[in-house]
Structure 1
């Protein structure tokens, strides 16, 4: 486990997170394609805000269970709360995730070479 320092582009949003960076996720859903973030999920307690969460803007859509936090100054998304499973996904055995999805591209001194990218087919989720 390593502690990483993170921020948005302008530095108005700062945080630190404990994680083992063994993979990142790339999603092809409507917002994931446009945002192009590389995500790694962590438990709630692994993320520590150095900037108050209230200083960030929030974007919610569709089921309103996901929350994308972004800097109101530079527009960068450093982290998000992932959406909860749909009824069909729960019936299929998918469990809810209680934690944060970190945009690894916002972490300082991370070499992405050699880190596997898991492709998430969010475009097919309804």
Structure 2
């Protein structure tokens, strides 16, 4: 299935293709404060549909995940990183996808706070 996503103001828009199943709910200081529900997909499943010039990057902790956010509205629709097998992945904030029934998603807790 193909999903459309965006930041709040629409300056960052993207498409992501795949079967949306379980989502990760991390308790690290960053994810918990922002309420992220993350769906990890391969780089080839994700396509930015707007110019990248509105996207800012936030790095913290080990600086291995590029947390991408809108320089205008502040929404963080996705992050970029590498999985344990060395593949490029995108961590899509499913709260930025339309339409998704968030209550129907199975949330998998992840203890990022202890890392």
- 1:70 corresponds to: 69
Number of residue equivalences: 115
Kindly provide the CA deviation profile for residues 10-57 of structure 1, in whole angstroms up to 9, marking residues without a partner as x: 111111100211111110011111111110000000011011223200
Q: 1:51 — aligned with what?
A: 50
SS in 2 for 1:105: helix
Q: Give the drift of 1:62.
A: 2.1
Query: Of the two, which has the highest radius of gyration?
Result: 1
Structure 2 residue 33 is matched with structure 1 residue 34: yes
Q: Distance in 1 between matches of 2:25 and 2:64?
A: 19
Between structures 1 and 2, the one with greater strand share: 2
Q: Which runs of 5+ in 2 are unaligned?
A: none
1:98 equivalent among 64, 67, 88: 88
Can you give the 5+ residue segments of structure 1 that lack an aligned partner in the other structure?
A: 86-93
Task: State whether residues 24 and 107 of structure 2, in contact with CA within 8 Å, keep that contact through their aligned partners in structure 1.
Answer: yes
- Mapped contact 2:78–2:92 kept (Cα < 8 A): yes
**Compared with structure 1, are the counterparts of its residues 35 and 97 closer, same or farther at alpha carbon in structure 2 (3 Å cutoff)?**
farther
Using the size of structure 2 for normalisation, the TM-score is 0.92
The reply on whether 1:119 has 2:113 as its aligned counterpart is no
Question: 2 CA distance for matches of 1:65 and 1:22?
Answer: 25
For residues 66-105 of structure 1, what are the alpha-carbon distances to aligned partners after superposition, in whole Å with 9 as ceiling and x for unaligned?
10000011100000014x68xxxxxxxx544521000000
RMSD value, Cα: 1.5
Contact 2:14 2:49 in 1 (8 A): yes
